Amino acid sequence: MIEDQVRALFTGIADGEPAPSRVDTGLAHRRGRARLRWRRAGLAGAPVLAAAAVAVVALAVGAAPLRPGPGLVGPRPAVAPRQFNPLAPYASFGWLPSGDSVLSGATYRPLTWQVAGPGPAKHRWELSLYMAGYCRLTAAARGLACNLDPAAQQTWRITGAAPAVDGHRAFWAGRSGSGVNHLVWQYAKGGWAMLAALNQPGTAWHGLAVRIAGHVRYGAHAVPPLAFPARVTGLPAWWRVSGVSYVPDGAVSRVTQYLMTPLPGVTFPFNVSLGGLPEFQFGLAGPHSSCPVPQGKAVHKVINGYRVILGHATGSRQWLCAPDADGVQVRILAGSRHVPSPADLFAHHLHLLGPNPAHWARKPSG
Q: Give the model confidence (pLDDT) of 206-242 as tens digits.
A: 999 999 999 999 999 999 999 999 999 998 888 999 9
Pairwise CA distance, residues 106 & 115, whole Å = 9
Average pLDDT, the chain: 81
Q: What is the mean pLDDT of residues 310-323?
A: 87
For residue 143, what are the contacts with CB-CB under 8 A and spacing of at least 6? 137, 155, 156, 157, 158, 173
Residue 6: what are its φ and ψ, rounded to 5°? -60, -45
3-state SS assignment for residue 308: strand
Q: What is the pTM of this model?
A: 0.81
Q: Please check the confidence at residue 109 and state whether its pLDDT lies above 70.
A: yes
Residues 138-161: pLDDT tens digits?
988 899 999 877 667 888 999 999
114 or 14, higher pLDDT: 114
For residue 145, what are the contacts with CB-CB under 8 A and spacing of at least 6? 135, 136, 137, 138, 153, 154, 155
Q: Please check the confidence at residue 36 and state whether its pLDDT lies above 50.
A: no
Pairwise CA distance, residues 27 & 53, whole Å = 9
Q: What is the mean pLDDT of residues 299-325?
A: 91
Residue 306: other Cβ atoms inside 10 A: 17
C-alpha distances (whole Å) from 308 to each of 39, 51, 282, 293, 327 are 20, 26, 14, 11, 14
Q: Please check the confidence at residue 24 and state whether its pLDDT lies above 90.
A: no
Q: What is the secondary structure of 11-49 as a DSSP string?
A: HTTSSSPPPP----S-HHHHHHHHHHTTTT---SSS--S
C-alpha distances (whole Å) from 180 to each of 122, 157, 232, 264 are 14, 12, 39, 33
Q: Please check the confidence at residue 332 and state whether its pLDDT lies above 70.
A: yes
Pairwise CA distance, residues 192 & 132, whole Å = 8
Q: What is the mean pLDDT of residues 334-343?
A: 85
Torsion angle, alpha carbons of 76, 80, 85, 91, to 10: 40
Q: Please check the confidence at residue 5 and state whether its pLDDT lies above 90.
A: no
- φ/ψ bin of 264: left (φ > 0), alpha (ψ from -120 to 50), beta (otherwise): alpha
Query: Which of 87-91, 234-238, 307-311, 337-341 is the least confident region?
Result: 337-341
Q: What is the secondary structure of 174-237 as a DSSP string?
A: E-TT---EEEEEEEEBTEEEEEEETT--SSTTHHHHHHHHHT-EESTTSSPPEEBSEEE-SS-T
Residue 250: other Cβ atoms inside 10 A: 13
Residues 44-94: pLDDT tens digits?
333 333 333 333 222 232 333 444 544 445 667 999 999 999 999 999 999
